Homo-oligomer: A and B are copies of this chain.
Amino acid sequence: MLKSTANYLKSHPGYVSGEEISKQLGLSRAAIWKHIGELRQQGYRIEASTRQGYKLVSCPDKLFPWEVQAGLGTKTFAQKVYYYETLASTMDEASRLATNAEPEGTVVFAETQTKGRGRMGRTWNSPKGAGVYFSVILRPGLGLSEVARLTLVAAVAVCQALRQVSGVDARIKWPNDILVNGRKIAGILTELQAEMDRVKFVIMGIGINVNTTSRQLPSTAVSLKMAAGRRFSRVAVAQESLRALESWYGIFLEKGFGPVAQEWKTRTMMIGQKVIFSDGKNTFAGEAVDLADDGGLLIRLTNGDVVKKMAGDVVLAVS
């Protein structure tokens, strides 16, 4: 309801009378008046004139469902959107919703996360209103051995979206980071619940530093604003990411991992680089030589052996 009033104002620049909105939306004048009040409370600047009616001056930079969905053009992704000012973690909320049978493509946004997380229990910084933090529910008919590739599918998609929306030279660092000039601009976290070899659902979490300032981030991180020297509409970043995710997810399910791997290789900065790899137990040096068919990273050790790593940390070695 609020959504329809907001959308009506957005699609009618200039003044529009309360009577006209009321007529077009089939709502009472009192309802329209209430909506205007609520929209103002949420940060919409709306001018009112007794003679001319209402005029939308500006929208808040918030990831409201109707803002994200307006002109989105996806088929399943974000057809259903849950929006929160604050969550402990969008991953947990999406997981809860998936357990309650919410459909594939359902998205959970939060303006800030109090316990945003990255891989291996690490923390993901989620300054309020500065980044785009969301989780998508996926229900792919994949076995456990195939599902790790989804992280790379997401990496390809987010990398493409960031390049498209901002022009920055975003690059993929295996397995789940997007870097600009060696600093982290976005992260991907893939979690899943399964029964034996049957995946119940996957939660794909995306965190993007959009208008985040250097003071809000660790020195190893960067934001779109810092990299490009200007602010970005978080709604636009979210939309472009959702479009790219739906598109690459579809390619992966229909055509397999081949096209994803190909794109991944053109967008990574790792292949051919000297790396130091750690899997929690062992640390060793080598050269990243290729991406394996199952999404693993192939590393040539100093003795010439090539090993495949499915999980762990890779650091680019300083030469």
Instruction: List residues of chain A with CB under 8 Å of any chain B CB.
Output: 119-120, 143-145, 147-148, 151, 175-176, 189-198, 310-311
Q: Which B residues are CB-close (under 8 A) to A194?
A: 191-194
Q: Which B residues are CB-close (under 8 A) to A145?
A: 144-145, 310
> By CB atoms of chain B within 10 A, which of A143, A144, A189, A192 has the most?
A144
Closest to A311 in B: B197
Distance between Cα atoms of A100 and B191 in the complex (Å): 17
Give 30 A-B contacts (CB < 8 Å), ordered by A residue: A119-B195, A119-B196, A119-B198, A120-B195, A143-B310, A143-B311, A144-B144, A144-B147, A145-B145, A148-B196, A148-B197, A151-B196, A175-B196, A176-B196, A189-B195, A190-B195, A190-B196, A191-B193, A191-B194, A191-B196, A192-B193, A192-B194, A192-B195, A193-B193, A193-B194, A194-B194, A196-B310, A196-B311, A197-B311, A198-B311
Closest to A176 in B: B196
> Main SS of the interface on chain A?
mixed
Number of copies: 2
- The 9 A-B residue pairs with the shortest CB-CB distance, nearest first, are A197-B311, A197-B310, A144-B144, A145-B145, A148-B197, A191-B195, A198-B311, A190-B196, A193-B193
Which of B144, B189, B190 meets A148, CB within 8 Å? B144
CB of A274, distance to nearest CB on chain B (Å): 23
CB of A264, distance to nearest CB on chain B (Å): 15
Distance between Cα atoms of A18 and B267 in the complex (Å): 77
Closest to A310 in B: B197
Distance between Cα atoms of A189 and B200 in the complex (Å): 14
Q: Which B residues are CB-close (under 8 A) to A197?
A: 148, 310-311
CB of A201, distance to nearest CB on chain B (Å): 11
Q: Which B residues are CB-close (under 8 A) to A176?
A: 196
Q: Which B residues are CB-close (under 8 A) to A193?
A: 191-194
CB of A88, distance to nearest CB on chain B (Å): 12
Closest to A280 in B: B141
Q: Which B residues are CB-close (under 8 A) to A191?
A: 193-196
Distance between Cα atoms of A8 and B212 in the complex (Å): 64
Distance between Cα atoms of A197 and B312 in the complex (Å): 9
Q: Which B residues are CB-close (under 8 A) to A196?
A: 119, 148, 151, 175-176, 190-191, 310-311
Q: Which B residues are CB-close (under 8 A) to A175?
A: 196
